[in-house]
Amino acid sequence: MGERLMINTDPKVAWAMAMDSGVRSQMGPILEDLMNGGGVQYTTKGGAGAGHCSEYAPIYACIRRMESDSPALAAIGHVLCDPMLESANAWLNDAVAAVESKVIAHIPNWKDGRAWKPAKKERVHYLIHVALMERQRNLSGAQPEWSPERIGEVMSGWYGVPITTRKWHQDWRPVWGVIQAAMATLEGDAMEPVSEVIGRMVREARAAA
């Protein structure tokens, strides 16, 4: 009888677990094979740590492929899910650029210099930073959304860019909604390959049981 697959099937949690340093440190000998479509035998023998590493190895390989094939999506995944702040921040500029590109594409008059002055565009740029931070800290969606006041405080405190939130619904709520929609789309696209790998692993484990 095959052994039970010991992974978390939530792709965001699986991403975080795959980026654990224990997984990465033991991936060298099998990473190339996995990235090229090869397979490994999953086992929990050798203790919990060994099982953890072998179980998440295919997900780690999937993420590495994404870094090469779809770096913008990899950036979103890392910024939102990587438990190591330093490595997550290494992808922050790419993640912001990916979101910003989608946001601009959904604002028809973005090139109108009267409607979107440089100072306003700068604030959109940093609103994206704040939105990613909010999402990163509330991946489960269990916490309430940040208030306009908190968004303003974070934007000013972290990035030194003040924003007037007194008329939030009139001035900033529409573009904040566009940012949230862009992030949701990119997050879904980033998690899809991980979900596919998890699904395949679950099916293989059931077949082997």
Confidence (pLDDT) at 208: 82
143 and 153 Cβ atoms separated by less than 8 Å: no
Burial class (CB in 10 A: 0-12, 13-18, 19+), 203: exposed
Confidence (pLDDT) at 11: 95
- Other beta carbons within 10 Å of 48: 9
Distance CA(140)–CA(57), nearest Å, equals 24
pLDDT, tens only, 135-170? 999 988 889 999 999 999 999 999 999 999 999 999
- Other beta carbons within 10 Å of 107: 16
Q: In the chain, what's the furthest Cα-to-Cα distance? A: 69
> What is the band of 85 on the pLDDT scale with cuts at 50, 70, 90?
confident
With a cut of 60, say whether residue 48 has pLDDT above it.
Answer: no
- Other beta carbons within 10 Å of 93: 12
pLDDT, tens only, 175-193? 999 999 999 999 999 999 9
> What is the band of 8 on the pLDDT scale with cuts at 50, 70, 90?
confident
